[in-house]
Every structure is written in C-alpha cells, then in structure tokens.
Amino acid sequence: MSNLNIDKSLSVILIIVLILLIAGTIKIIVFPQPSEKFTEFYILGPNGNASDYPTNLTAGESGNVTIGIVNHEYTNTTYRLIIKINQTILKNETITLSDNEKKEIPFTFKPTAAWNNQKIEFLLFKPPGNSTAYRSLYLLMNVH
C-alpha cells in the first residue's frame, strides 16, 4: 500500500470519527438524560427560615412549622405525610405533586405532656413502599 492510500484511509477514518462525535454531541444537547430522581423534604421555623424551630414549649403551648415537599421524580408522584409526637399520629395526609411542583404545608402542634426530648417526627412515604419512610425529619422538644 502506498503512502497516498494510507493518507486517504486515515482521512476517511478521521472524518467518520468527527461526524460521530458531532452527532453524539447533538444527541446529548437535544435529548439530555435526566439527572438523579429525588424529593426535597424540609421543615421551616415560624419565620419561614431553617431556624428558630419551636423546641422549648410549655405544655399546651402551640408550635408552628412549615413542611416543604418538592417533587424532582420526573413524574407525578403521590406521597403520604405522617406527623407524630411520641408515636401519636397528629396528621396523616396524601399529597400528589407533579414534576417540579412544590408544596409548603403550615402545621401547628400542641404538646400536652411535659418532659424533655419529646420527638416530633415528620415522615414522608412514597407508595407503594409504605412500610419504610422515603424521607424523614424530626425535632426534639423540651416541654415544661
């Protein structure tokens, strides 16, 4: 084989590789792969910040928080929100959110028993797996 034939063959191979790279780049830009699926789940204090949570209360005094849920699951998703203090269920609600939809739920609770380190749990389930919480948060309260 002569040098001219080798040069032509290499040129053809380089052009094919270049076309494949351009086609691959266009595919990535036009049809991007979705990133990781997840759900944001958070609690805000009474001032709408991630601070000043009602953790020191008097028995019978109300505490206020906002529970936030944001769906990044790339599909409509149904959640079940359960809130409980010391295994007593205070709220059990089903919430359906479309992709990228955000819901903030104001929640008021009133602990009735006085003792330290009472746990208020915020549990988010994503059916069909209802036996284990998909996301969970909690606050420890001292109730006097």
Q: Do both 3 and 45 map to the same domain?
A: no
Q: Do both 44 and 105 map to the same domain?
A: yes
Chain segment 16-68, per-residue pLDDT in tens: 998 999 988 888 788 767 678 999 999 999 999 999 999 999 988 999 999 99
Report in angstroms the alpha-carbon separations of 117 from 56, 58, 66, 139, 140. Answer: 10, 13, 20, 9, 5
Confidence at residue 1, expressed as pLDDT on a 0 to 100 scale: 57
Q: Do both 26 and 70 map to the same domain?
A: no
Range of the domain at 12: 1-33
CB 112 within 8 A of CB 26: no
The answer to whether residue 3 scores a pLDDT higher than 80 is no
| 93, two tokens | 């609600």
Number of domains in the chain: 2
